[in-house]
Amino acid sequence: MHQSILVFRNYLYLKWALLVVAVAIGLYVLHDPAYGVANGGTWLGYGLGTIGALLIVWLMWFGIRKRRYGAASLSVEDWLSAHVYLGLALIFVATLHTGFQFGWNVHTLAYALMIFVIGSGVFGLVAYLRVPDLMTRNRGGATLDQILQDIAELDAQCRDMAMSLGDKINQIVLHAAEDTVIGGSFRQQLSGRDADCPTIAANRQLQDLAASASTAQSENLRGLIALMARKEELVRRARRDVRYKALLDVWLYIHVPISFALLAALATHIVAVFFYW
């Protein structure tokens, strides 16, 4: 129906970013540094460093702008599209700024943090582009709340049906109803699976019981198995939904704190450079 942030405004911000990259590379190629060694201390090095530092501050300002609601300038979509492209352009600007001189020092730490932040941002970008569609299809028009409600309803139905089927089956059904976890730990959320899921286990156990039971008994079990299978399907769907939501959110827990670390490292880098000048 309409476009993603990459295609936004007919690639306007990509064009800006390409211009920045082209100028940086062009100058780097044309530049003839003293002693023939490219480094951050030449006029080009200082120039690229200043641009890079300003870009970092500007990129981080996105966090503020996003929360400044009702501001009358550009829309957040403009900002995000520019954030993505200029963030990627920063790799070129900063790398050329280093003159490919790396070492075990605070300067390279800042560079490494920056690459890490950009990397997490690329992860986020991919997630933003892919996950919404998967999430929509997985939900099939329902909300997570509705899916959870349906699960609760199926639980109640299962327990009703198990009433007449003996203690063992009641135990299985009760365990599936009370101990099935959707969400759970960070790892569980991200994996979208639960190896010890009582619902999946119950389904398997009920099927085994039906196979070994007499014809009359398995007849009774069949209805319960159908319900439990439906519940398992919904549980899996709910877990996938949680997983997708986690994928959309998880990278921000890296992207944002590390960018603050980057800001600190950057400040240190700048102070150090000028102090030892």
Residue 5 makes contact with other proteins by CB under 8 A = yes
The CB-of-277 to other proteins minimum distance in angstroms stands at 31
Touching other proteins, residues 244-273 (CB under 8 A): 245, 248
102 vs 253, beta carbon nearer other proteins: 253
Q: Are the C-beta atoms of residues 193 and 239 closer than 8 Å to each other?
A: yes
36 vs 70, beta carbon nearer other proteins: 70
Residue 8 makes contact with other proteins by CB under 8 A = yes
The CB-of-50 to other proteins minimum distance in angstroms stands at 25
Whose structure tokens read 């135990």?
171
The CB-of-116 to other proteins minimum distance in angstroms stands at 22
Residue 10 makes contact with other proteins by CB under 8 A = no
Touching other proteins, residues 138-157 (CB under 8 A): 139, 141, 143-145
Measured from the Cβ of residue 103, the count of other Cβ atoms closer than 10 Å reads 9
Determine the Cα angle at 229 with ends 182 and 194, to 5°.
Answer: 30
The CB-of-8 to other proteins minimum distance in angstroms stands at 6
Residue 69 makes contact with other proteins by CB under 8 A = yes
Residue 70 makes contact with other proteins by CB under 8 A = yes
Residue 68 makes contact with other proteins by CB under 8 A = yes
Q: Are the C-beta atoms of residues 222 and 210 closer than 8 Å to each other?
A: yes
Q: Which of 10, 29, 30, 67 binds other proteins (CB under 8 A)?
A: 67
Compute φ and ψ for 171, nearest 5 degrees: -60, -50
C-alpha to C-alpha distance for 44 and 171, rounded to whole angstroms: 74
Residue at 23: amino acid letter? V
Distances (CA, A) of 85 to 5, 49, 118, 123, 244: 10, 18, 11, 14, 24
For residues 120 to 139, the per-residue mask of contacts with other proteins, x marking binding by CB under 8 A and - elsewhere, is -------xx--xxx-xx--x
Residue 79 makes contact with other proteins by CB under 8 A = yes
- Binding piece for other proteins, criterion CB under 8 A, among 61-69, 103-111, 112-120, 208-216: 61-69
Q: Which of 29, 72, 211, 216 binds other proteins (CB under 8 A)?
A: 72
Nearest by Cα to 246 from 161, 202, 188: 188
Residue 82 makes contact with other proteins by CB under 8 A = no
Write out the residues near other proteins by the rule CB under 8 A: 1-5, 8, 64, 66-73, 75-77, 79-80, 127-128, 131-133, 135-136, 139, 141, 143-145, 245, 248
